[in-house]
A = this chain, B = another copy of it.
Amino acid sequence: MAEKYVYMFSEGSKELKNTLGGKGANLAEMTKLKIPIPQGFTITCQACLEFFKNPKFLEEITPKVEAALKNLEKLAGKKFNDNEDPLLVSVRSGAPMSMPGMMDTVLNLGLTEKNLEALVKKTGNERFALDAYRRFIQMFGDVVMGIDHDDFEHILQEVKSKIGSNAKDTDLTIPHLREIIQKYKILYKEKIGEDFPDNPKEQLYKSIRAVFDSWNSPRAVYYRKFNRIPNFGTAVNIQQMVFGNMGNTSLTGVAFTRDPATGEKQFMGEYLTNAQGEDVVAGIRTPKKLSDMEEEFPATYTELTTLMEKLENHYKDMQDIEFTVQEGNLYLLQTRNGKRTPVAMVKIAIDMMKEELITKEEAILRVDADKLTGLLFKRIDEKSTYELLTKGINASPGAVSGQIVFEPEDAETWSNQGKKVILVRPETKPDDIHGLMASEGVLTVHGGKTSHAAVVARGMGKPAVCGASDLFIDVKKKLFRVNNQVFKEGDVITIDGSTGLVVKGAAPLLEPEISGEFDELLAMADEIRKLGVYANSETIPDTKNAIKFGAEGIGLARTEHMFMAPERLPVVREMIIAKSTDERKKALEKIKPMQKEDFKGIFRIMAGKPVIIRLLDPPLHEFLPDYTSITTEVSLLRYRVKNGEDVKAELEEKEKMLELVSGLHESNPMLGLRGCRLGLKWPEINDMQVEAIFEAAVELKKEGVEVYPEVMIPLIGFISELKPVKEGLKKIADRIIRESGVELHYMFGTMIEIPRAALTADEIAQEAEFFSFGTNDLTQMTLGFSRDDAEGKFIPFYLEKGILEENPFASLDQIGVGKLMKMGVKEGRNTRPDLEIGICGEHGGDPASVEFCHKIGLNYVSCSPFRIPVARLSAAQAQILFPRE
Chain A residues proximal to chain B, CB less than 8 Å: 426, 446-447, 469, 472, 476, 627-628, 631-632, 635-636, 638-640, 643, 659, 662-663, 665-673, 677, 680-681, 715, 717-718, 720-721, 724, 753-756, 759-760, 777, 780-786, 788-790, 793-794, 797-798, 801-804, 813, 815-817, 819-820
Residues A816 and B670 in contact in the complex (CB < 8 Å), given A632-B631, A639-B639, A663-B472: no
Instruction: Tell whether A671 pairs with B785 under 8 Å between CB atoms, given A815-B760, A820-B755.
Output: yes
Contact A659 B472 (CB under 8 A): yes
| List of 7 A-B pairs having minimum Cβ-Cβ separation, nearest first | A671-B786, A668-B786, A756-B816, A672-B789, A754-B784, A666-B789, A668-B668
A667-B789 contact, Cβ under 8 Å, with A635-B632, A680-B801, A759-B819: yes
Pairs across A and B, CB under 8 Å, 21 listed: A446-B665, A446-B667, A476-B635, A627-B628, A628-B631, A631-B632, A635-B635, A635-B636, A636-B639, A643-B643, A666-B789, A667-B668, A671-B781, A671-B784, A672-B793, A677-B794, A680-B803, A717-B816, A718-B804, A755-B784, A781-B784
A772, chain B: closest CB distance, angstroms: 16
Count of this chain's copies in the oligomeric assembly: 2
Cα–Cα, bound, A739→B469 (Å): 43
> In whole angstroms, what is the CA distance A394 to B777 when docked?
30
A-B contacts besides A721-B803, A755-B816, A756-B783, 20 pairs, CB < 8 Å? A476-B638, A628-B628, A632-B636, A636-B636, A639-B640, A667-B670, A667-B788, A667-B789, A669-B786, A671-B786, A673-B789, A673-B790, A673-B794, A717-B784, A718-B803, A724-B803, A755-B781, A756-B813, A759-B816, A759-B820
The verdict on A670 contacting B668 (CB below 8 Å), with A635-B636, A636-B636 known, is yes
CA distance A689 to B426 in the complex (A): 35
Q: How far is the CA of A668 from the CA of B446 in the complex (A)?
A: 12
In the complex, what residues of B have CB within 8 A of residue A721's CB? 803
| A671 pairs with B789, CB closer than 8 A | yes
Distance in angstroms between the alpha carbons of A820 and B820 in the assembled complex: 10
Q: Is the CB of B671 within 8 A of A780?
A: yes
Chain B contacts for A640, CB-based, 8 A? 639
Name the one of B426, B680, B797, B816 contacting A681, with C-beta atoms under 8 angstroms. B797
User: How far is B755's CA from A783's CA once the two chains are assembled, in angstroms?
Assistant: 7
Q: What residue in chain B is nearest A805 (Cβ atoms)? A: B720
A755 adjacent to B780 (CB under 8 Å): no
Q: Which chain B residue shows the least CB distance to A225?
A: B720
Q: Closest residue to A638 on the B side, CB-wise? A: B476
Query: How far is B720's CA from A804's CA once the two chains are assembled, in angstroms?
Result: 8
Min CB distance A163 to B, Å, is 47
**A685 → chain B closest CB, angstroms:** 14
Which B residues are CB-close (under 8 A) to A447?
667
Shortest Cβ distance from residue A759 to the other chain B in the assembled complex, whole angstroms: 5
Q: How far is the CB of A167 from chain B (nearest CB, A)?
A: 45
**Cβ-defined contact, A670 with B786, below 8 A:** yes
**Cα distance A804–B784 in the bound complex, in angstroms:** 23
Cα-based distance from A109 to B804 in the complex (angstroms): 78
Chain B contacts of A635 at CB under 8 A? 476, 632, 635-636
Closest to A813 in B: B756
A319 → B minimal CB distance (Å) = 38
Partner of A816, one of B636, B659, B673, B760: B760
> How long is the Cα–Cα vector from A854 to B720 in the complex, in angstroms?
27
CB nearest neighbor in B for A672? B789
Chain B residue numbers with a CB within 8 Å of A790 are 671-673
Given the complex, which residues of B lie within 8 Å of A756, measured CB to CB? 782-784, 813, 816-817
Query: In the complex, which residues of chain B have a beta carbon less than 8 angstroms from the beta carbon of A803?
Result: 680, 718, 720-721, 724
A817–B755 alpha-carbon span in the complex (Å): 9
- Decide if B786 touches A667 in the complex (CB within 8 Å): yes
* Residue pair A793, B715 in contact (C-beta under 8 Å): no
Most buried by B among A426, A755, A759, A785: A755
Q: If the complex has contacts A673-B794, A680-B803, A801-B680, are A755 and B782 also in contact, measured as CB distance less than 8 A? A: yes
A879 to chain B, nearest CB (A): 28
**How many Å from the CB of A841 to the closest CB on chain B?**
15
Which B residue sits closest to A448, measured CB to CB? B667
A760 to B818, CA, bound (A): 11
Alpha-carbon separation in the docked complex, A669 to B793 (Å): 12
Asked if residues B816 and A668 are in contact (CB atoms below 8 Å), the reply is: no
Contact of A786 among B666, B715, B801 (CB under 8 A): B666
Q: Report whether B755 and A788 are in contact in the complex, using a CB–CB cutoff of 8 Å.
A: no
Contacts of A636 in B (CB 8 A): 632, 635-636, 639
**Residue among A667, A786, A788, A817 with most chain B CB within 10 A:** A667
| Minimum CB distance partner of A664 in chain B | B793
Within the complex, what minimum Cβ distance (angstroms) separates A350 from chain B? 40
With contact pairs A635-B635, A668-B668 given, residues A759 and B782 touching in the complex (Cβ less than 8 Å): yes
